Amino acid sequence: MKRGSILRAVTIGVAAIFFSACTVVRPGESGLKQKLGKLKPTPLQTGAHYFNPFVTKIVKIDVRTVEVYENLPLPTKEGLSVNAQIALLYHVDPKMVSDVYTNFGLNYERVIVVSNFQATAREVSSRYFAKELYAIDREKVEQVMKDLLSDHLNDKGFIIDAVLLKDILLPESMSRAIQNKVNAEQAALQMDYIIEKQKKEAERMYIEAEGIRRAQNIIDSSLTTKLLQYNQIQMLKELSNSTNAKIIITNGQTPMIINEQ
């Protein structure tokens, strides 16, 4: 009975040692083998790996894109402070995981990434006025932050994918002033549109009147005395042929038309 218990315990111990000597590097991870405190230069690829748990340690580092989200008070060019919600998307360079672990350890995000992110955000925001951060140059500010942060972190083993200004919370007085200015600009644009429309309508009416005047001049220039007399004779002739009752009044200079009846 005692011998069976000992055998069972030995079997369990061997199995535990066997499974503890195996690790799996999953997709999106990079593994580092550390033997007797010394790192192997080549990272472990995705898959299962066996090692001696007594002298060897496997360190796994995530190389997928991760998000760092910060609520930061940012200084502006005019000396104000605005609250900003900023997101940083970055990942560890798979080729430099050994350097990242050696220089910054597993807490690299807090040690180097976040500290540089906060400092860069404040440095860039101080170059712009609050209204530029709020509405005008947001994409430009994001790109400047990304480029500057890349300069600080790329050679340390970190790739900056994007910096996103999700929200800028201005002081209430400034938000109201900006909104009033936007409303005034919109009203001015609307008035410009109305004025331009009225100018176009005036031009249309002028062109129409000019056309009528020219047509009238052409008609007036073609109405000679003989033409008028001829047209009058033609009109009287048509009236004389009409069966309707009629009264014809002339000035005595044109032929009189008498109804046949």
Question: Tell me, what's the pLDDT at 91?
Answer: 94
Domain ranges within the chain, ordered by starting residue: 2-62, 66-170, 178-222, 232-261
Say what the pTM is.
Answer: 0.58
The residue ranking higher by pLDDT, 16 or 141, is: 141
The larger pLDDT score, comparing residue 39 to residue 118, is at: 118
Per-residue pLDDT band at 52 (split at 50, 70, 90): low
Most trustworthy range by pLDDT among 30-44, 117-131, 202-216: 117-131
Domain 66-170, CATH? 3.30.479.30
The percentage of the chain sitting over the pLDDT mark of 70, rounded to a whole number, equals 68
Please check whether residue 74 is in contact with residue 12, taking contact to mean a CB–CB distance below 8 angstroms: no
pLDDT in tens, 224-245: 666 666 667 777 677 666 666 5
DSSP per-residue letters across 205-242: HHHHHHHHHHHHHHHHHH--HHHHHHHHHHHHHHHHT-
pLDDT (0 to 100) of residue 14? 45
The answer on pLDDT for 8 being more than 80 is no
Between strands 47-50 and 66-75, the pairing is unpaired
Across the range 100-126, mean pLDDT stands at 90
**pLDDT score, position 174:** 65
Tell me the two tokens of residue 182. Answer: 């936007």
